Structure 1
Amino acid sequence: MVKRVTAAIEPPSKEDMEAMSDFRYQLRRFLRFSEDVTHTAGVTPLQYQLMLHVRGIPGRHWASVGELAERLQAAPNGTAALVSRCERAGFVVRKASRVDRRQVEVHLTAKGERLLIRLAALHKAEIKASGWLFR
């Protein structure tokens, strides 16, 4: 969803265009790297991203389907289908919340955790090698 800008928009300068072009180029290079390493590991980039977001939710080691949909910028029903595919592959499990039985928590399995750690280490090394800032 694109947020509407209500203030006057200043046209970008040539330098702005160059910077945006370089940003998109570097982003695409990283995404291509990610596609290659995930496919080599036998998973899709979206499966990797889903596992990363399950583990990357601040303060806990699980995520709801709604949170995953937001982080993936995908529809909830498509995200639920992706969770199902990851569940069939043995990467995640769904668990009923102990706090709210209406909520379903998505957790990594040991298999999913091992795969995620291996792939995330490769991604982290690529980010560092690219000179991008990384917390």
Structure 2
Amino acid sequence: MGDLRRFDTSAQIDAFVGIDPGRYQLGEKDSRLGITKHGNHLARKILYRTIGQMEEVKATQPCHITDYYDKKKRSSNSRGYLKITIASVHKLIRTMFALIKHDQLYDYNVATQNQRLKLKSNDQLKYSNL
């Protein structure tokens, strides 16, 4: 995928990977389709498999993305989890993009409390609510 700093938004990364939602418009009819798959198929496959690997190690290495995946899986009545996995990939992309843009390391406690690390004027890390 290269340097993620070249993208302005996480939606641009979604489009690059090909997980952005498709749309069909004809006259007044506007339908939402599945993912476009117009992006980099290797990056999409790697990110998809990454979610599976994260699920396998969640007992020893907790992550808010696997928490999200499990919550969606429990609340889903269907047997197919492709949409849940793609939503988790989107969440992973947003997390990676934010961490790289703000030059931060991942912290599970910060992620689960929906907080960001901010630098104080004296360069000490401080937690602050979003």
TM-score normalised to the size of structure 2?
0.28
More helix by share: 1
- Larger C-alpha radius of gyration, 1 or 2? 1
Taking structure 1 as the reference length, what is the TM-score of the superposition?
0.27
Query: Which of the pair is proportionally richer in strand?
Result: 2
